[in-house]
Every structure is written in structure tokens, then in C-alpha cells.
Amino acid sequence: MQIKRLAVLVSGGGSNLQALIDAIQSGEISAKIELVISNREQAYGLTRAAQNGIATHYLGIKNYPDSNARAEKLNTLLAAHQIDYVVLAGYLSILKPETIRQYEGRIVNIHPSLIPKYCGEGFYGHHVHEAVLANGESESGATTHFVDEGVDTGKIIYQERVPVLKGDTVETLSARVLTVEHQLIVRTVRDLCSGSVKTSE
Ligand code: GRF
């Protein structure tokens, strides 16, 4: 089987990226991360990538103030690296429709809730967990899905539940969800690369 070429897009700590790096190193995922891109210059995910010898690119407001030019640069990079799959791993920016159409069925995202709950505009990072706690939910979880032109509306690939425990804070709940995210993102990318998750139907 041909090794799939991945681009991983991050905005923050990059712990999901790290889970992918580890799973590729251990042979669980048959793929190579060709490049890591961030819309935040200081994202620790870029450091993790560089530490692992992966090419990194910052594409943000500072170096590409015009969002169309930024999107064009992203498309150029993805094409130049012959990317098979784009993984949004905590990427807090919206891709342009052209990119989404070009890579239809080949872009996946991970979201820290049980979609369709607590997703869409404004539901990212701690906002998700705050809302889950404020509503007294007894469970939350994580979802991987294909990316379409909506926000968190694409076809769901996998979901995993976690309990909300008495006394949970945003910190304890997000840490529990993040642990599950790491397993879910590995399973999703592994199955995508092996062809056992169909890209479209
Ligand atoms: C994760 O909760 C992810 O689902 C969300 O942002 C967080 C990123 O964590 N979109 P990390 O950067 O992978 O550590």
C-alpha cells in the first residue's frame, strides 16, 4: 500500500498532532506527515513538528494579511507536497470553499464534543466544555468528521463518549476529552489511510 501524505493544521498545543506523530513512528498509521501548518506563529504544535523533522509553515494575519492570498498559499503548499489528506487537529480557522472542494472527502477535523451537540460557530476550545458543564450534561465526548463548507457539519466518522463527573471543571473535563481525542484522531487517520473509512459515498 502506498504511504499517504498528510498535512496537519494546528493552532495550539498540538497534542493531537503528537498522537499522530507517535502512531506513525510506532507503525500504527501508514502515512507520512509532510508538513504542519499553523495560523498562529507561536503555536507549540509547530515546535513539536520541527522537533520531529517535519516542515512547518506559519500562514497567518502577519505574513498573509489578505485571506485570499493566505488561502492561495495554503493550496499551493498542499499541491506542492502532493497531499492526500488534510487533518485539522485543533485548527481554529475556517478553510476557504476552494480548498474544501479541491480536497472533498480528504479533509478531516476533530471536535471536542458529541456533534451535533456543542458545535458550530463559537463552539471551540474551552467554550465547548463550559457550555457542557453549564447545561448539566452527564456526558460529553469527541467527534471526528469530514469537513464540508459548513462549520462542524460534515459527515461524522467516529465518536467516543466520556462521562461528565460530579465536580468537573473545564480543566478536568477538557483533559478527559483530550485523552479520548488522541485515540480517536489516531483511529480516524489510520482507517482513512488504510482505506477502511470511505472518503465519500
Ligand atoms: C482539541 O480539544 C481539539 O479538539 C480542539 O482544540 C484542541 C486542540 O488540542 N479543536 P491540541 O492542540 O491538539 O493539543
Radius of gyration in angstroms for the set of CA atoms belonging to the chain, rounded to a whole number: 16
Ligand 1 atom having least distance to the Cα of 11: 12
Stated pTM of the model: 0.95
Ligand 1 atom having least distance to the Cα of 10: 12
Distance of alpha carbon 41 from alpha carbon 148, whole angstroms: 26
Band of residue 1 on the pLDDT scale cut at 50, 70, 90? low
Residue nearest to atom 6 of ligand 1 (CA): 90
Length of the chain: 201
111 is catalytic: yes
Reported as a single tens digit per residue, the pLDDT across 51-72 is 999 999 999 999 999 999 999 9
Mean pLDDT (the chain) is 96
- As a whole number, mean pLDDT of residues 26-49 equals 98
Q: Which residues contact 181 (CB under 8 A, 6 or more apart)?
A: 16, 19, 110, 112, 142
Band of residue 152 on the pLDDT scale cut at 50, 70, 90? confident
**Amino acid making up residue 4:** K
Q: Of the candidates 4, 165, 162, 18, which has an alpha carbon nearest to the alpha carbon of residue 89? A: 18
How do beta strands 31-38 and 107-111 pair?
unpaired
Ligand 1 atom having least distance to the Cα of 92: 10
Residue nearest to atom 8 of ligand 1 (CA): 90
Q: Ligand 1: residues within 6 Å at CB?
A: 10, 12-16, 45, 89-90, 110-112, 124-125, 178, 181
